[in-house]
Amino acid sequence: MTNAAKADATFDAVLVAARACRLCAAHLPHEPRPVLRLAPTARLLIIGQAPGTRVHASGIPWNDPSGDRLRHWIAMDRDRFYDNRVVGIMPMGFCFPGTDPKGGDLPPRPECAPAWHPPLLAGLPAVRLTLLVGQYAQARYLTDRRRTMTETVQAWQVYLAHGFLPLPHPSWRNTVWIKKNPWFEAELLPELRHRVAALL
């Protein structure tokens, strides 16, 4: 077996184990259903927050209105988006964490990323651009992130030089934020689309 074949076999074993994970089952409102799509050939990696109720039900990541907006941001149709040979999807929490009584979903479970991200990332050598969608992904992967999410996303050119691009979450809750920050659609999105098109 070649070294590449061994690496692929190791990655496949980690992926199978991640999809069967029950690490935080006692804290979840439903049976664990880890949702992620990865392959060693992926060149674009999307790290979001955690599945919502619709994604939990379907088992398909970003299969909701937030996903529609994200695909619009990167100018990609569903078929290409769900081709895990080129696009990897790995949230901070793999399972739906439950609903926050104050509104929205609870944060991603804290056990997930430390346990699974390092071994999975080790099997993704082809990734050239990582989209950090939302504050939880940015907190983990940007050691020099700014004081607020707005300031972090505004500094996108700094992080792009290191292969990361921070984005707000594409939830409808951020519609007002997008309107208040016109530079996002005028400056960041064109560069994002250009980079993604060049990768794929």
Q: Tell me what pLDDT residue 131 has.
A: 98
Task: Identify the sign of the CA torsion 54, 77, 129, 147.
Answer: negative
CATH code, 20: 3.40.470.10
What does pTM read for this prediction?
Answer: 0.95
State the CB neighbour count (10 A cutoff) for residue 72. 12
Which residues form the domain of 118?
3-199
Residue spans of alpha helices (H) in 20-166: 53-58, 65-74, 78-81, 112-121, 135-141, 149-154, 156-160
- C-alpha dist (Å) from residue 152 to 89, 138, 148, 165: 21, 8, 6, 10
How many domains, the chain? 1
Rounded average pLDDT per 10-residue block, the chain, 200 residues: 72 96 95 97 97 94 96 97 97 95 89 97 97 96 89 95 96 93 97 95
